[in-house]
Structure 1
C-alpha cells in the first residue's frame, strides 16, 4: 500500500486553480441512513442508504491584492460553482483520482485572526448535486 504526504494538492473553484492560496483541503461525503426495520427483521435494525451529501472544507491564505483571492472569491459569494480536488497537482489518473462536482460558496471570511496571526481562513462549502470520482 502506497503512503503519501500531501505536498502539492490541487484545488480548482469555478475552473480556476486556487492551489497557490490553499493550505488545507478536505472533501467529505456521506449518505443518510434510513430505518426500514419491520417485524420481520426479528429484532434487528435494517437500514438503507438515503440521500447523499458532501462538504468541501478549505483553508485559504488571504490575498487582498487586486484581482487576487479575495476579489475573485467575493464575486462568487452566494453562487454555485464547480470544484475539482486531487491529492497531487499532477494530471488525474489511476494513482491520482480527481473528485469533481459543484459547491455553494456559502461563506467568506475577509478577515479572521488575532495580532501576529497569518491572514488565513477556514471555510466549508456544501456540495450541490453529485460528487464524481474520475481517474482520467
Structure 2
C-alpha cells in the first residue's frame, strides 16, 4: 500500500503561490443528504445527494513585510478568488492531481497567538461554485 508524507504541498490563491507561507492545507467537500424515503422504501431510509459545498482550511506563518503574506491577503478580504491545491508542488499528473475552484475570502486574522508563539494565521474559506479535480 502506497504511503505519503506531505513535505511540499502547493497552495495558490488568486493566482499567487503561497506555499512558502503555508504549513497546513485542507480541502473538504460534501453534499447535502436529502431524505426521499417513502412507504415503498420498506422501512429503509433512502437518500439522494443535494447541493454540494466545500471548504479550504489554511494555516499560514504570518509575514507583514512589504509584498509578503499580509499585503497579499488584505486586499482579497471580502472577495471571491480562485484557488489551486496539490499534494506536491511538482507537475500536475495522474500521480499529483490538482484541485481548483473559487473561495470567498470571508476573514483575515492578521494577528493571532500568545506570548512565545509563532506568528500564524488560521483561516477557513467556503468554496463558491464547483471544485474540480484535474490530472493534466
TM-score category of the 2 structures, normalised to the smaller one:
over 0.9
1:54 aligns to what? Answer: 54
1:90 aligns to what? Answer: 90
Question: Please, what TM-score do these two structures have when normalized by structure 2?
Answer: 0.99
2:120 aligns to what? Answer: 120
Counterparts of 1:1-136 in structure 2, within 5 Å, are: 1-136=1-136
Q: CA RMSD in A?
A: 0.5
Question: Please, what TM-score do these two structures have when normalized by structure 1?
Answer: 0.99
Query: Which whole-Å CA distance do the structure 1 matches of 2:50 and 2:92 have between them?
Result: 30
Query: Which whole-Å CA distance do the structure 1 matches of 2:121 and 2:16 have between them?
Result: 19
Unaligned stretches of 5+ in structure 2? none
How many Å apart are 1:2 and its aligned residue?
1.7
Unaligned stretches of 5+ in structure 1? none
Query: Which whole-Å CA distance do the structure 2 matches of 1:72 and 1:19 have between them?
Result: 13
Query: Which whole-Å CA distance do the structure 2 matches of 1:67 and 1:95 have between them?
Result: 33
Runs of 4+ in 1 over 6 A off after TM superposition: none
Per-residue CA deviation, residues 6-45 of structure 1 (Å, 9 max, x unaligned), is 0000000000100000000000000000000011111111
Count of residues in Structure 1 that have an aligned counterpart in Structure 2: 136
